[in-house]
Structure 1
Amino acid sequence: MSKAEKQKKAVVEEKDYPLSHVPKEARSGLLAVTGVLIGFTFFTPTMAAGARLGAAFAFSELVWILLAGSAILGVYVAIICAIGAKTGLTSVLLARYTLGTAGAKWADIILGGTQVLWYAITAEYMGILFAKGLGLPGWEIFFMIFWSVIMGATALYGFKSMAIVSYVALPLMVALVVIVTWMAFREVGSMEALFGVQPSATMSVTVAITVIVGTFASGGTQAANWARFAKNGKTAFTAGIISFLIGNGIMVFSGMVGGFAFKTGDLIELMITMGLTFWALIILTLNIWTTNNATAYAFGVAGAEMFNKSNKGPFIIGGVIIATVVAVAGIGAYFIPLLNLFGTFIPPLGGVIIGDFLFTYKKTLPMLEFVTFKKLRVVPLIAYLIGCAAAYFGGVYEIGVPSLQGIIVAALAVPVINAIFKTANYNDMHEVSKDAKYV
């Protein structure tokens, strides 16, 4: 069997198409794609981030912060989703077009690596949740390892298994959100009292919005991994808006209100205080399970692209092992700083992918098999670095909304720098076959 035949056979056997375009016959409708994406965003550590924000601002400020952060995240991710569905490609394969084969390795590291960290944070969270909930101090590490292995195992079965787990978990998570919000309102007594509660912590508005975007800056930039299974770009865009603007917004709001009313940013402590220990264990387990399925899937496809292997399984297993070690080491202590970091340096990567797709490729990509990829495309790399600088210095000097300007500056820098390089007769494009087919 020739090398080409072996690669084709491997792609057929790997039904999630980590190194190829998703064919039309493997596409799904709005319900399935939204189920997976919203199962990803209905994520209890997002509520925990909201609870910490709730302790730092007056309620009237929180509403505007939530709307701003959710709108930025929702529209950004929805565009990534539409591009994923239009091309049928994962985010790291889109990065190969944008940054070249060597440049895409940075996307593999930053996107896959941050998802490993997210997996570690949730594994640690599960360990603490069960140790506290069951009254078993000292058992945290056991539960971290146990749940890390269990959740990682189900991620090996791909998109369809993720959809099934999401269908089971979502109704329960909706119930939890409603209960937490209702009990928080009952605790303060009235809307008037809620608006009158004073913050007990401090945080700048720019950091708060960046934290909201940071909750899914990494995951959202990789939303193409799942949205590529949508029937078309419109379906994917709608699924992205529902999941990341509305779904993620609801999660942050629920955590905000709970933290605001009960004066704690510790969601586990909040649940126990509210008398929800039993239901918290059941519902939060299913909820985190759906998210970690997607998280492990994400670092699996990143590893597949990095090493050009069609089987993502070994990379899922390796990522789970690393994440488990990091969880045991106590990654949760760096939760908010990590969110701020993610919200600063990851959105510009998505921005440069969007800018390259819209302005360079004019919304049409040549199919993978017809492209001879350059090792590095300089124009998008410079645009990405400029976007990162805009986001970083915006955060340092509290100018604008760092994550938003990182996306916009990176995207708009692509055509500007392209024009400059063209005047110097520098060819920054991949070589495409004359008989190429496009998506």
Structure 2
Amino acid sequence: MSSTTGDSSGIVQKLREFFKQDSERDEYSDQRVPDSERKGIWKPATVWIGFAIAYSIAFIGSQIYMGLGMPEALYAIVIGNVILAIYATLIGVAAVDGGLNFPLQVREAFGRKGALLPIAVLGILVNGWYAFQAWLAADVIRAAYDPNWYVLITLVVLAFGIPAVLGVDAMSEIVEKLVIPIMLLFVGYILFAQVIPAGTSILSQPAPGESIPFLVGVGLTWGTFAVSGTATGDIVRFAENKKQVIVATVIAFLICNTVMMLVGALSAAALASLNPYFGMIGVLGSVPIVAAAVVSLWSTCDACNYGATMAYTNLSDLVSWRVAGLIAIVAAYVTAITEVISQLQSWLLLIGIVVPPIGGIVIADYFLLRSRGYDDVRTADFNWAALVALFAAVGLNYYAYQNIPEALPGALGLILTLVVYPIAMRVGTRVLGDDRMGSTFESYEQSVSTSPSDD
């Protein structure tokens, strides 16, 4: 009897140890990353590479081809990734300067309580991406081998979510040792077995599917990483300087993401159809396509779950890093098993409406309003200028979606935040807040020496 009690107490103690709050274990979710914990360029870059060289990215490229045809699809993919790289780089440069993750950047822009809304929105959206990638991987396995769906999706969601809870180092290892080699083989197969034999005629094929405006194609491209690009600070804050952030972002978007989307578009043109399995079901027992989908989507799910966990743990002091990670896994499981996330184009358009204004406010707040960067710490609960600008920009994006279908999704709202928000902060300080820049500030040194009970 006493032995059983001892075993039980030991298990309880291990669970407490696993879930306890600890700055390093919690991936510095609620504070700046110390200089001593910066990881250089390779680990952040490999996590970003794992994001971008995903099977799902190639599939999105094939959808863009179906709506635009050639060569317009290629142009849209390149332009969209240039926009995405610039957008993510600006946010990442700000993040590495202060060593701040996305929730802490948003807190600096929106105020401590005002930040809860955009943090929750980004957390839910990136959690949705995790669910989509897991569902897509399970769907490829289902097409190849037809196992029991409920057992399959359960195993996939759990397996794909766990490394993120363990942190950036574990995620980087998966990308380096598994994802990069397998996806190089995947790209090589499509090029040599499909694209090159089809010849140059595929570069002038009209759209075989329902036509979409060119800028919608661009929007679908940058919508792939609008969420994670906005939350890029979660990853790149571990870099040592701004130059490393720029290099990592260029590698991720201007090289990896662009190449994967182009490969997907070229494959669809060569096959003359939208094939979610790239014509590889049945090839060598379907092992190559299953390996490419599972391994690449695994790394993408890790990164998405990492972002969702970072958001959820910043919504309440009661939620530790690993508890937040389990919440994200459960939420992704419910979303994936119902298959509601399978409507990809609608998902990307929703992201284009909601997300860019949040990133625009973060960019404007750092580059246009702060003379000392994040050395000035916003301590106010609400920055009303940021919140009003956010709602106005989302409304403008929705209006454009309904009435200006040829407009670049998200662009008008992003421009509004970059222009209107800083003007409002300069002109309306007495209405929107009390002090400099419409809010209360103190130096970083002051803020870290103030205990939470003193706030």
- Is this a same-fold pair by TM over 0.5? yes
Does the aligned pair in 1 maintain the 2:370–2:376 contact within 8 Å? no
**Corresponding residue for residue 386 of structure 1:** 392
2: distance between equivalents of 1:347 and 1:266? 30
Please state how far the C-alpha of 1:309 moved relative to its aligned partner: 4.9
What is the aligned-residue identity percentage? 21
Q: Deviations over 1:148-200 (max 9, x none)?
A: 11122222210111111110211221221232233332452x11343145523
**Corresponding residue for residue 436 of structure 1:** 446
Q: What is the 5 A alignment of 1:56-67?
A: 56-67=67-78
Indicate which of 413, 425, 434 corresponds to 1:418.
425
Tell me: CA distance 1:301–1:193, structure 2 relative to 1, closer, same or farther (3 Å). Answer: closer
Look up the SS of the partner of 2:428 in the other structure.
Answer: helix
2: distance between equivalents of 1:435 and 1:224? 21
Runs of at least 5 residues in structure 2 that lack an aligned partner in the other structure: 1-19, 449-455
Indicate yes or no: 2:255 matched with 1:249. Answer: no
Tell me: CA distance 1:196–1:301, structure 2 relative to 1, closer, same or farther (3 Å). Answer: closer
Tell me: CA distance 1:24–1:388, structure 2 relative to 1, closer, same or farther (3 Å). Answer: same
**Corresponding residue for residue 86 of structure 2:** 75
Please state how far the C-alpha of 1:127 moved relative to its aligned partner: 1.6
Q: Deviations over 1:243-287 (max 9, x none)?
A: 123221112111111122223334226332766821121222111
2: distance between equivalents of 1:367 and 1:316? 30
**Corresponding residue for residue 405 of structure 1:** 412
Tell me: CA distance 1:266–1:318, structure 2 relative to 1, closer, same or farther (3 Å). Answer: farther
**Corresponding residue for residue 5 of structure 1:** none
Indicate which of 161, 165, 182 corresponds to 2:174.
165
Tell me: CA distance 1:124–1:177, structure 2 relative to 1, closer, same or farther (3 Å). Answer: same
Indicate the structure (1 or 2) with the bigger Cα radius of gyration.
2
Amino acid at match of 2:303: A
1: distance between equivalents of 2:301 and 2:107? 25
Q: What is the 5 A alignment of 1:45-194?
A: 45-134=56-145, 136=146, 139-168=148-177, 169-188=179-198, 190-194=199-203
Amino acid at match of 1:252: M
Look up the SS of the partner of 1:432 in the other structure.
Answer: strand
**Corresponding residue for residue 312 of structure 1:** 321
Segment of structure 1 superposing worse, 26-35 or 402-411: 402-411
Q: Deviations over 1:112-143 (max 9, x none)?
A: 10111111112211221112222x25x22221
Q: Name the count of aligned residue pairs.
A: 424
Amino acid at match of 1:247: C
Indicate which of 261, 279, 295 corresponds to 1:286.
295
Look up the SS of the partner of 1:306 in the other structure.
Answer: coil
Tell me the TM-score normalised to structure 1 length.
Answer: 0.90
Indicate which of 12, 19, 28 corresponds to 2:30.
19
Please state how far the C-alpha of 1:426 moved relative to its aligned partner: 4.2
Does the aligned pair in 2 maintain the 1:353–1:411 contact within 8 Å? no
Please state how far the C-alpha of 1:74 moved relative to its aligned partner: 1.0
Amino acid at match of 2:181: P
2: distance between equivalents of 1:128 and 1:178? 23
Tell me the TM-score normalised to structure 2 length.
Answer: 0.87
